[in-house]
Amino acid sequence: MKKEYKLEFNDITKDIINNEYFLKTKDDLHHGSSKYDHLVRVSKCSFMLGKMFKADIKSVTRAALLHDFFFGGRKDKNENSYLNHPITAAKNAKEYFYLNEIEEEAIKTHMFHHVIMKKIFPFLNRHEKAKIKESKPKSKEGWIVCISDLLVSIMECQRFEFTYIAKLSCLVLINIIFLRN
Ligand SMILES: [Fe+2]
Ligand SMILES: [Fe+2]
């Protein structure tokens, strides 16, 4: 990241990054590293994509920084599940920071990539119901946060390459088996 971009990024995110409650994400695990690291990576990726696609930089960067602002594992509570945690994150973010409409919507729709995966592989996370229309991003900023989250998540999961490939292969196999019957 260029020096001027770094300064701009720090200026946009400083109140969130230095917030006492937000700093607790450092103790929360996500894709094998801290949730804090994941949030900062997605935020930086969204910032850069926002520059490329001339998005509302402040909104896209802050929404990305808060997109997974919830605590605990996805299986710990119903509100932390794959499809519920965007709502929980938006609720938490609103409690501690001011959110505009674009930011709130981008947080709530950031799991659209997972909804698409569920449509391709119906047995993925089969206990939750996903609706394309409701979970689809409604703004350029929403799409950027969703895509950045996907890109960063793939990159983070590559550290567990074998596990990831093994899980994906099992998933494809299970879907083939069940769809044939
Ligand atoms: Fe998420
Ligand atoms: Fe995420």
CATH number for the domain spanning 59: value is 1.10.3210
Cα 31 to ligand 2 centroid, rounded to whole Å: 9
Q: Distance from CA of residue 84 to its chain's centroid? A: 12
Residue 154 structural domain: 3-180
Cα 149 to ligand 2 centroid, rounded to whole Å: 5
Calculate Rg over the CA atoms of the chain: 17
- pTM confidence score: 0.86
Of 181, 178, 39, 170, nearest in space to 110 by CA: 39
For the CA of 150, the nearest ligand: 2
- Dihedral of alpha carbons 42, 102, 81, 124, sign: negative
Longest dimension (CA), the chain: 57
Cα 177 to ligand 2 centroid, rounded to whole Å: 30
For the CA of 30, the nearest ligand: 2
Count of structural domains, the chain = 1
For residue 181, the model assigns a pLDDT of 47
For residue 171, the model assigns a pLDDT of 66
Q: Measured between alpha carbons, how far is 87 from 69 in angstroms, rounded to an integer?
A: 10
For the CA of 64, the nearest ligand: 2
Of 40, 35, 67, nearest in space to 141 by CA: 67
Where are any strands of DSSP class E within the chain?
A: 29-30, 33-34
Cα 179 to ligand 2 centroid, rounded to whole Å: 29
Give the HSE-up count for residue 135: Cα atoms under 13 Å, Cβ half-sphere.
Answer: 22
For residue 92, the model assigns a pLDDT of 96
pLDDT by residue for the chain (181 residues), tens only, comes to: 888 999 999 999 999 999 999 999 999 877 778 999 999 999 999 999 999 999 999 999 999 999 999 998 877 888 999 899 999 999 999 999 999 999 999 999 999 999 998 888 887 887 888 788 889 999 999 999 999 999 998 888 766 555 666 666 666 665 665 555 4
Does an H or E element contain 159, and which? none
b or e along 67-105 (b: 16 or more beta carbons within 10 Å of the residue's beta carbon)?
Answer: bbbbbeeeeeeeebbbbbbbebbbebbeeebebeebbbb
